[in-house]
Amino acid sequence: GAGVSQSPSNKVTEKGKDVELRCDPISGHTALYWYRQSLGQGLEFLIYFQGNSAPDKSGLPSDRFSAERTGGSVSTLTIQRTQQEDSAVYLCASSPSSPYEQYFGPGTRLTVT
Amino acid sequence: SQQGEEDPQALSIQEGENATMNCSYKTSINNLQWYRQNSGRGLVHLILIRSNEREKHSGRLRVTLDTSKKSSSLLITASRAADTASYFCATDAGGTSYGKLTFGQGTILTVHP
């Protein structure tokens, strides 16, 4: 079946602009996770959704970052007023429940110039 | 922040040899997982070992877990050029962590034909 998909695959934006990153999880997976991978920080947890609610937002780096999930499916990660340190690969993962193995999408490479 | 460390940071071997990667972590866990990443993009789940398990096998993979030493190892036997990738361990603390994974820095494995 279809895996986790993310769009866009690459995004180049100017400092100060807002960006939206999209994640389509595997159908039927109730848990959805966002991670960020950068050279300096490695792989970092950002936020977790169970259904449409986000019980754990502890990894969001600042109030410029927000995420939502609608219909228990698609999720959008929004970064407002982007900064150069936001440049990274943003990875989305889903799982049938929590805790469980996670299925990762291919990621969105964000470059802030 | 990273949960622990992996060593070696890089490993270069010949096809047919075995590859061993080690992971140490700091806090108690519910389970530990190993993932593989090709070309810096999506991660692929390899194996999950629960805190009450000591060893697990999957094909050419063998994972051990020593909770008293807070360490795990991944052994790939009879390596192939296609095993070239980055390998990450990830810990799930359980409880209110909701399956949030904390990743190590990873080991870059290169298998020469």
Q: What residues in chain A have per-residue pLDDT under 50?
A: none
Answer whether A31 sits within 8 Å of B106, measured CB to CB: no
Q: What string of DSSP letters covers A15-33?
A: TT--EEEEEEPPTT--EEE
Residue A93: C-alpha distances to residues A32, B28, B94, B100 (Å): 6, 23, 17, 11
Chain A nearest-CA distance from B105, in A, is 6
Mean pLDDT for chain B overall: 92
Cβ(A113)–Cβ(A14) under 8 Å?
yes
At B3 the pLDDT is: 58
Instruction: State the pairing for strand pair A31-38/A88-95.
Output: antiparallel
Question: CB distance A106–B101 less than 8 Å?
Answer: no
**Percentage of chain B modeled with pLDDT above 90:** 81
- The reply to whether residue A104 touches residue B42, judged by beta carbons under 8 angstroms, is yes
Q: Which pLDDT value is given to residue A99?
A: 65
Average of per-residue pLDDT across B37-55: 90
Cβ distance of A37 and B40 shorter than 8 Å: yes
With 80 as the cut, is the pLDDT of residue B77 above it? yes
Burial (CB count <10 Å: 0-12, 13-18, 19+), residue A2: exposed
Report how far residue A37's alpha carbon sits from residue B101's, in angstroms, rounded to the nearest whole number. Answer: 13
Quick one: pLDDT at residue A98?
62
Better-scored residue on pLDDT, B90 or B1: B90
For B105, the closest of A42, A50, A91 (CB atoms) is A42
**A14 Cα distance to chain centroid:** 20
Q: Is a pLDDT exceeding 70 seen at residue B45? A: yes
Q: Token match 């398990």: residue?
A: B53
Give the CA distances from residue B83 to residues B14, B38, B77, B78, in Å, rounded to whole numbers and listed in that order. Answer: 11, 9, 10, 10
Of A45, A106, A107, the CB nearest to B100: A45
pLDDT given at position B2: 47
Chain A neighbors of B30, CB-CB under 8 A: 99
SS3 content of chain A, % helix, strand, coil (to 5): 5, 50, 45
- Tokens representing B53 are 């398990």
In 3D space, the residue among B19, B32, B108, B20 whose CA is nearest the CA of residue B70 turns out to be B32
| C-alpha to C-alpha distance for A27 and A48, rounded to whole angstroms | 17
For B32, B56, B89, the CA distances from B9, given in Å and listed in that order, are 19, 23, 12
According to DSSP, the β-strands at B107-112 and B10-14 are parallel
Chain B residues whose beta carbon lies within 8 Å of the beta carbon of residue A104: 35, 42-45
Neighbours of B46 (CB within 10 A): 19
Residue B33 in contact with residue B89, Cβ under 8 Å? yes
pLDDT of B4 > 90? The answer is no
Q: Judge whether B111 and B83 are in contact, CB under 8 Å.
A: yes
Tell me if chain A has a CB within 8 Å of the CB of B107.
no
DSSP structural state of residue B47 = E
A32, A43, A46: best mutation site toward chain B, by most B Cβ within 10 Å? A43
- B68 has pLDDT over 50: yes
Q: At B1, is the pLDDT very low, low, confident or very high (cuts 50, 70, 90)?
A: very low
Query: Looking at residue A90, what is its pLDDT?
Result: 97
Interchain CB distance below 8 Å, A102 and B106: no
Please, which residues bridge with residue B74 across strands? B21, B63
- The token duo for B98 is 């909701």
Q: Is the pLDDT of residue B96 over 80?
A: no
